[in-house]
Amino acid sequence: MAFDKVLKNVINKCLKQPKLLRCLSTHFKHDIEDHVGSKIKWTSTLDFVSPDCFSPIPTYRVLDSRGNILNKFEEPAIENATLEKMYKDMILVNTMDKVLYESQRQGRISFYMTNYGEEATHMGSAAALDLNDLVYGQYREVGVLIWRGFTLSEIMNQCYGNCLDPGKGKQMPIHYGSKRLNFVTISSPLATQIPQAAGSAYALKNQNRVVMCYFGEGAASEGDAHAAFNFAATLDCPVIFFCRNNGYAISTPTEDQYRGDGIAVRGPGYGITTVRVDGNDVLAVYNATKAAREFCLERSKPVLIEALTYRVGHHSTSDDSTAYRSQKEVDERIQNDNPVKKLRLYLENKNLWNEEKEKEWLHLTKRNVLEAFNAAEKILLPKWTEMFTDVYGVIPHHLRKQMNEMEKHLENYRDHYPLEKYST
Amino acid sequence: MLQKNSICVKILKGVLKSKDGECRKILRRNAHFSFYPEKPPSGSTTKMNMFQAINNALDITLRTDESALVFGEDVAFGGVFRCTVDLQKKYGKSRVFNTPLCEQGIIGFGIGAAASGATSVAEIQFADYIFPAFDQIVNEAAKYRYRSGGEFNCGRLTIRAPCGAVGHGALYHSQSPEAYFAHTPGLKVVIPRGPIKAKGLLLSCIRDPNPCLVLEPKILYRAAVEEVPSGDYGTLIGKADVVQEGKDVTLIGWGTQFHVLMEVAQLAKEKFGISCEVIDLVSILPWDLDTVCNSVKKTGRVLISHEAPLTSGFGAEIAACIQEECFLHLQAPVARITGFDTPFPHIFEPFYLPTKWRCLEAVKNLIDY
C-alpha cells in the first residue's frame, strides 16, 4: 500500500493548508519513471485502487449554519455594499421565482424553473467574476444574470417571448442570454455548453478573461462533460467548470447518477485542479471562485468547482417532486441549511441587515417584479415572419420562398391564426 | 483508437498514401470512376491533387486570418490524409493542434471557439465518425444564431470530414452522411468534386457567416489532380455547375459520383446516341433548385445518383422538388440510382456502388419509357 500512503500524505498536506486549492494531480519526486506519457512507480504487491482508498474530498466552508465565520482568516474582504447586494439579489431571485412559478400555474407563461436553494452558488460565484468573463449556463443560474445587471423586464420579456425579447420568442422560458452581459444564450440540451466553454476559453486566452461554465451533477454524466474536462486540460483552457450538485437530476438521486466521490473526484483524473465547496455558503463559493479565477489566469489552465447544495424546488413546473422525495427531506433542508438564511444571519451579525430592511426590500422587489411581469404580458409578440430570421446570417432563397407561401396562406386563412397577439 | 487508426493505416498504405506510382496504377485500374478535371481557369495555377488544394486553402486561411485555428485528431503531424501537412510547423502549436480523440468534444470546442471570435476549422477524421458530434452539430451549431435571436452565433465554424467510398473502407470508412445534415436548418453542406472546387469551397465555407460542413470524397485526395488557381478565391455556396450540356437527359450527382455520371454521359452518347446534361450539385444545403429545374425543363428526363442509401437519401429531396416544379415537363419518372438500403459492405463494394453500368441502364430506361 505504499502508493496509497503517498497519496494519503499528499491529501493530508493539502488538508493542512486550507488556503491551497486542492490539487490531487500529484507529482512524486522519487522512484518514478516516465512511460509513454504516464508516470509509473513499480510495485511487486498486487493492489487494486478502490474508491475506498481515498477519504472523501473535503467540503470547504467559511460560514457555519448560523452565519458565523468558522476561521477568521478565511473571511473574504467583501465590501458591505457588495455583501448587501448579494443578499438583495438572492431575495429578488426568490420573489421573482415565486411570481413566475405561480403565473405558470395560472397558464400565463408556458414553463418555468425556480432556483430555490441554489441562490448562494449564483451570487457567490458571480460576485467573484469580472463582468468581462464569459458565462455559459445550464438553466438554473438566473441569479448570475441578475448579479450582472439583467433586468426584471429582460427576464419577463424572455419568458413571454414578446417583441422586446432579444431571442425573439424562439426559445422556451428561462433560456436567457445577453451579449451585453457576456452570458451565452442557454439551450436545453444538457452539457453541450461545457466543451463550448472550453473552446471559448481557448479563443479568449491571454485576454485577461476567463470562461465560467455552470452545469448540474446530472449533466456531468453526459459525454460532453467528459469531452470538456479532457479538452480543457490537454489544451490548457482558462475555464472554470462550476458544478451545482443539488442531489437530484429531475427524479434521479445522485446514487443513481454516479458511484464515485461526487463530481470533484473526477477533476484530478483529468489533471484538473479541483475544489469542493459548501454551495449553501456564499462566502465559500466566493472564495473558491475568486481563487479559481486567479489560477486560471495565472496558469492558463482549467479549474473544477463542485458546489454541494440542495434543489429545494421542483425540477420544473412540469414536475411534482413529492413523487420521488419526501416533503420532510425538503423541509429539513430549508430549515437547517438555507443559503439565504445563512447570509442573512451573517449580515445581521455585521449589522448590515435587519427586519425593517427585510420588509422594505421584500415589498419593493415584489412590486418591481409584478410591475415588470404585467408590463411584459401586455407587449405584443414579434411578427410571425421573425420565425424565418436568424436561421442563417441572411435568409436564403428557399426559406424566403417558404415565408412568402405562408404570407399568401395567411391572406386566405388569417381568421384561423392568433394574429392579434403578434406585431404586424 | 488503435482499431480505428489501424484500419486508417491500412487504407492509407493500401491505396492512398503510396508515393510510388505502383499503387496509383492499382487505384486507376480498380477505381469505379475516371476523374474528369475542371478546365484550368485563366491566371496563375499550380498542379495539385485534392489534399494539396485543401492544404493550400488552410494555409491561406491561417496566413490571412490571425484568429484562425485548425484542429482535430492527428492534424498536428499533417493529418492521416496529409491535408494539414506542415501547417503546424508554419503557424505554431497554438493554431494547428491535435485534440483528444473525441468527436463531440472537437465540435463542441469548435463551436465555443467560433462563438468567441476564432475562425475554427475542425476536422473529423472520417465522416463515418461524425455521429458522436451529431448533437453538437444539429442541436447546437445549427441553432446557435436562431435561438439567441442573433445575439450569439458560431458562423466562424467550418467542419471538414472525409467521406465516400474508397474501394475497401467497409462500414465505417465509406459513408456519405450528407442527407442527415441536409435536414438541419442553419447548417450549410458542400461536397467538392476535385481540387479546384475543394479549395474554393473550403475558403468560402471558412469565411461564410454560418457553420459549414465540407464533406471531402477521400478517394479523390490523391486521384484528383488539377491546375488549381494559386491565389485566394471563393466558390459560391448553393450554386450547382452544369458541367456538360445535353438535351435528352439530366444527370445529377456530386462528389465522386459526378465523375461516374460524366463517364455515363460519354457511354450513353457512344452506345445509344443519347445526349446527357451533367450537373454537379456541389452544394447540398442550400441547394440549387433553379439550375436543376432549368435543366430538367429542357431535357424532360432526370437521373439522380449518389453513393448514400436510397431511402431518404438527398436524391429523394431533389426528386420531390423536380416533381413539384417540373411536373408538366417530365417525360419519365425521376430515376434514382444510389447505394442500396444496407450498411456499406466490404467485399461487396463493387455491387453496392451506383456504378456507371447501373446508371447507364437507368438512362436507357428513361429514354425508352
Q: Residue A400: is its pLDDT beyond 80? A: yes
What pLDDT is recorded for position B26?
44
Cross-chain CB nearest to A189 (options B107, B117, B135):
B135
- Whether residue A181 is found in the same domain as residue A294: yes
pLDDT 10s digits, A176-226: 999 999 999 999 999 999 999 999 999 999 999 999 999 999 999 999 999
Average pLDDT over residues A159-188: 97
- Whether residue A174 is found in the same domain as residue A252: yes
Does residue B213 lie within any of the structural domains? yes
Give strand ranges (E) for chain B.
45-49, 69-72, 96-98, 120-123, 157-163, 188-190, 212-217, 225-229, 241-244, 249-253, 276-280, 283-285, 302-309, 335-339
Name B330's Cβ contacts closer than 8 Å, sequence gap at least 6.
Answer: B296, B300, B301, B302, B322, B323
Does residue B34 lie within any of the structural domains? no
What pLDDT is recorded for position A33?
83
Contact (CB<8Å) A393/B210 = yes
- Whether residue A293 is found in the same domain as residue A344: yes
A388 shares contact with chain B (CB less than 8 Å):
no
Does residue A400 lie within any of the structural domains? yes
CA dist B250 to B178, B192, B303, Å? 21, 20, 6
A316 is catalytic: yes
Cross-chain CB nearest to A391 (options B99, B151, B185):
B185
**Distance from chain centroid for Cα A134:** 13
A234 shares contact with chain B (CB less than 8 Å):
yes
Last residue of a domain, one of B203, B229, B255: B229
Q: Which of A165, A171, A229, A390 to mutate to test the interface with B (most CBs of B within 10 A)?
A: A390
What pLDDT is recorded for position A21?
44
- Whether residue A306 is found in the same domain as residue A405: no
Q: Is residue A255 a contact partner of residue A325, using CB atoms and an 8 Å limit?
A: no
- Whether residue B163 is found in the same domain as residue B285: no
- Whether residue B158 is found in the same domain as residue B278: no
Chain B residue with CA closest to A163: the answer is: B149
* Helix%, strand%, coil% for chain A, nearest 5: 45, 10, 40
Q: Residue A17: is its pLDDT beyond 60? A: no
H/E segment holding residue A257: helix A254-257
pLDDT 10s digits, A281-296: 999 999 999 999 999 9
pLDDT 10s digits, B247-286: 999 999 999 999 999 999 999 999 999 999 999 999 999 9
- Whether residue A159 is found in the same domain as residue A21: no
What pLDDT is recorded for position B6?
54
pLDDT 10s digits, B174-230: 999 999 999 999 999 999 999 999 999 999 999 999 999 999 999 999 999 999 999
CA dist A349 to A66, A72, A131, A362, Å? 10, 14, 29, 20
The full length of chain A comes to 424
- Whether residue B329 is found in the same domain as residue B353: yes
- Whether residue B61 is found in the same domain as residue B197: yes
Confidence of residue A35 (pLDDT cuts 50, 70, 90): confident
Q: Residue A233: is its pLDDT beyond 70? A: yes
Nearest to A299, CA basis, from A236, A257, A243: A236
What pLDDT is recorded for position B68?
98
B102 shares contact with chain A (CB less than 8 Å):
yes
Confidence of residue A11 (pLDDT cuts 50, 70, 90): low
H/E segment holding residue A242: strand A239-245
Determine the 3-state secondary structure of B331 from DSSP: coil
Give percent of chain A with pLDDT exceeding 70: 93
What pLDDT is recorded for position A5?
65
pLDDT 10s digits, B18-58: 444 444 444 445 689 999 999 988 899 999 999 999 999 99
Determine the Cα–Cα distance for residues B84 and A77; give it in Å rounded to an integer: 51
- Whether residue A305 is found in the same domain as residue A350: yes
- Whether residue A13 is found in the same domain as residue A128: no
Last residue of a domain, one of B208, B229, B250: B229
- Whether residue A39 is found in the same domain as residue A80: no
pLDDT 10s digits, A101-120: 999 999 999 999 999 999 99
Return mean pLDDT, chain A.
93
Determine the Cα–Cα distance for residues B218 and B224; give it in Å rounded to an integer: 10
- Whether residue A38 is found in the same domain as residue A172: no
CATH number at residue B288: 3.40.50.920
Average pLDDT over residues B290-315: 98
What pLDDT is recorded for position A220?
98
Cell output for A48: 487494486
Cross-chain CB nearest to B286 (options A136, A393, A397):
A397
Does residue A142 lie within any of the structural domains? yes
B57 shares contact with chain A (CB less than 8 Å):
no
Query: How many domains does chain A fold into?
Result: 3
What pLDDT is recorded for position A15?
52
- Whether residue B298 is found in the same domain as residue B359: yes
CA distance B365 to chain A (A): 32
Average pLDDT over residues A239-248: 97
What pLDDT is recorded for position A121?
98
Q: Residue A22: is its pLDDT beyond 60? A: no
Q: Is residue A375 a contact partner of residue A315, using CB atoms and an 8 Å limit?
A: no
Cell output for A188: 436545453
- Whether residue A196 is found in the same domain as residue A306: yes
Does residue A52 lie within any of the structural domains? no
- Whether residue B195 is found in the same domain as residue B55: yes
Does residue B13 lie within any of the structural domains? no
Confidence of residue A39 (pLDDT cuts 50, 70, 90): confident
A383 shares contact with chain B (CB less than 8 Å):
no
Q: Residue A237: is its pLDDT beyond 80? A: yes
Does residue B15 lie within any of the structural domains? no
Q: Residue B128: is its pLDDT beyond 90? A: yes
Does residue B118 lie within any of the structural domains? yes
Chain B residue with CA closest to A390: the answer is: B146
Does residue B253 lie within any of the structural domains? yes
Confidence of residue A37 (pLDDT cuts 50, 70, 90): confident
Confidence of residue B2 (pLDDT cuts 50, 70, 90): very low
A315 is catalytic: yes
* Angle subtended by helix axes B289-299 and B314-325, to nearest 10: 60
Give percent of chain B with pLDDT exceeding 70: 92
Last residue of a domain, one of B229, B255, B281: B229
pLDDT 10s digits, A68-100: 999 999 999 999 999 999 999 999 999 999 999
What pLDDT is recorded for position B31?
86
Instruction: Please report the ipTM that was assigned to this predicted complex.
Output: 0.92
B239 shares contact with chain A (CB less than 8 Å):
no
Nearest to A218, CA basis, from A186, A247, A259: A247
Nearest to A237, CA basis, from A304, A301, A303: A301
Determine the Cα–Cα distance for residues A278 and A176; give it in Å rounded to an integer: 26
What pLDDT is recorded for position B215?
98
What pLDDT is recorded for position A7?
58
CATH number at residue A139: 3.40.50.970
Q: Which residue has the higher pLDDT, A14 or B148?
A: B148
The count of C-alpha atoms lying within 13 angstroms of the C-alpha of A189, restricted to the half-sphere facing its C-beta, is: 21
- Whether residue B197 is found in the same domain as residue B283: no
- Whether residue A336 is found in the same domain as residue A406: no
Q: Residue A175: is its pLDDT beyond 80? A: yes
- Whether residue A113 is found in the same domain as residue A24: no
Q: Which domain holds residue A325?
A: 59-378
Give yes or no for a cis peptide into B41 (omega within 30° of 0).
no
Q: Is residue A128 a contact partner of residue A284, using CB atoms and an 8 Å limit?
A: no
Average pLDDT over residues B68-83: 98
- Phi-psi category of A351—alpha, beta or left, where left has phi over 0 and alpha has psi -120 to 50? left
Longest dimension (CA), chain A: 84
Return mean pLDDT, chain B.
94
Q: Which domain holds residue B338?
A: 241-368
**Look-up of cell digits 420532510:** A328
Exposed, middle or buried, B20 (CB in 10 Å: 0-12/13-18/19+)?
Answer: exposed
